[in-house]
Amino acid sequence: KCENVKNWLTLSSVVALGANIICNKIPGLAPRQRALCQSRPDAIIVIGEGAQLGINECQYQFRYGRWNCSALGQRTVFGQELRVGSREAAFTYAITAAGVAHAVTTACSQGNLSQCGCDREKQGYHDQPEEGWKWGGCSADVKYGVEFSRRFVDAREIKKNSRRLMNLHNNEAGRKVLQEGMKMECKCHGVSGSCTTKTCWITLPKFREIGHLLKERYGGAVQVEPVRASRLRQPSFLRVKEARGYQKPTDRDLVYLERSPNYCEEDAATGSAGTRGRLCNGTSSHADGCDLMCCGRGHDTRHYTRVWQCHCKFHWCCFVKCSTCSERSEVFTCK
Ligand SMILES: *[C@@H]1O[C@H](CO)[C@@H](O)[C@H](O)[C@H]1NC(C)=O
Ligand SMILES: *[C@@H]1O[C@H](CO)[C@@H](O)[C@H](O)[C@H]1NC(C)=O
Ligand SMILES: *[C@@H]1O[C@H](CO)[C@@H](O)[C@H](O)[C@H]1NC(C)=O
């Protein structure tokens, strides 16, 4: 699933060959994305890393779910696209948009991209909010990263349908969560840490944190429906389904148009990979338990013996003596 992203990351070494060749080789780019790729070949590598960051985090967050962040269907630079406008699709878009913004911002701070760096508004005494401290070090320029993510990630929405509105909303929600997670760190100066003066800077949150926050949003995702306001009958905005009046979702909500499939069986029409062959937990009553994970189809059990070194003692001088311990264990996989 991540193959194509990896494939073209290894192309980083041949950037010198010319952006044209590379950008034409990347599968599934929209025309505006291809143009951006050609004008900023250095950024395309970072974008790939950002998309990968999002995919990895998605797989981590959903490792115990029937849907494990994989899908059947067309491959794009962002992994595989989910056909159904479900909550899972909403999560995928939000985490990818956040991942690209995160990676671009990090690359800016490290001086890896030519057109950005540290946040210049947060240097020295510029824009200093109160007495007693000043900006120092390198503040992450998240505004640049977010803007770049907007320009690149959002450019894949070329069809004027309601799914476009859903995707754009979720992209923005993901970037919002990232921006709200920015933190201020400070360092004290003065005699033996007396903190008479401080220098402070803004840092990006760990991406794991963004994963957890978006997973919560996924749990509370809002079902929406398109509103066609113009005579052209094109959907022009989204409203909360079954709400009274025209209630719009908030810019923090993840939104979805369609109910999720149950992801039990492989189904090309919904993009479900099914749960055949997935590992499950024989004793858990949660989503990772064999009953739920295997959708009642039952599971196979494989016994094995786990062997390790144990009861290790240090003898004077100088060797360590251990015994060998073993334990019968079993793994379960869905039929
Ligand atoms: C920045 O460049 C260095 C050296 O090429 C590399 O090791 C690092 O991973 C890059 N950082 C990002 C965020 O791309
Ligand atoms: C997710 O599940 C599918 C279908 O069972 C499986 O082929 C794939 O390897 C799993 N991916 C991960 C990252 O666990
Ligand atoms: C299986 O689930 C139980 C109960 O939730 C948990 O204590 C145990 O660590 C799990 N086992 C594995 C191998 O994940």
**Ligand nearest to the CA of residue 79, numbered in listed order:** 2
CA of 110 to the centre of ligand 1 (A): 7
Measured from the Cα of 286, ligand 3's closest atom is 5
Lining ligand 1 with CB less than 6 A are 46, 49, 106-107, 110, 112
Number of C-beta neighbours around residue 265 at 10 A: 14
Please tell me whether residue 305 adopts helix, strand or coil conformation.
strand
CA of 57 to the centre of ligand 3 (A): 22
Q: How far apart are the C-alpha atoms of 271 and 263, rounded to whole Å?
A: 9
* 278, 280, 332, best to mutate for ligand 2 pocket (most atoms within 8 Å of CB): 278
Q: Are 333 and 302 in contact (CB under 8 A)?
A: yes
Terminal-to-terminal C-alpha distance of the chain = 22
Q: Name the pTM for this structure.
A: 0.86
| Cβ neighbours for 117, distance < 8 A, ≥ 6 positions apart | 108, 109, 111, 138, 141
Q: Are 287 and 64 in contact (CB under 8 A)?
A: yes
- Average pLDDT for runs of 10 along the chain of length 335: 43 51 80 89 88 93 93 72 92 96 96 91 68 84 96 92 96 97 89 80 96 97 90 85 87 96 92 93 94 95 93 88 93 95
CA distances from 103 to 95, 106, 148 (A): 12, 5, 10
Question: Which pLDDT belongs to residue 130?
Answer: 67
Q: How far is CA 5 from the centre of its chain?
A: 14
* 64, 280, 284, best to mutate for ligand 3 pocket (most atoms within 8 Å of CB): 284
Backbone angles phi, psi at 247, to 5 degrees: -95, 125
CA distances from 145 to 37, 53, 107, 208, 284 (A): 16, 14, 9, 18, 41
Residue of the CA atom closest to atom 2 of ligand 2: 68
Of 304, 302, 303, 284, residue with least CA distance to 294? 284
Q: How far apart are the C-alpha atoms of 127 and 328, rounded to whole Å?
A: 64
Of 210, 199, 25, residue with least CA distance to 106? 210
**β-bridge pairing 222-227 and 75-76:** unpaired
Measured from the Cα of 277, ligand 2's closest atom is 5
Q: How far apart are the C-alpha atoms of 300 and 292, rounded to whole Å?
A: 14
Q: Which amino acid is at 129?
A: P
CA of 208 to the centre of ligand 2 (A): 20
**Ligand nearest to the CA of residue 265, numbered in listed order:** 2
Question: Which pLDDT belongs to residue 4?
Answer: 46
Lining ligand 3 with CB less than 6 A are 281, 283-284
Question: Which pLDDT belongs to residue 325?
Answer: 95
CA of 288 to the centre of ligand 3 (A): 9
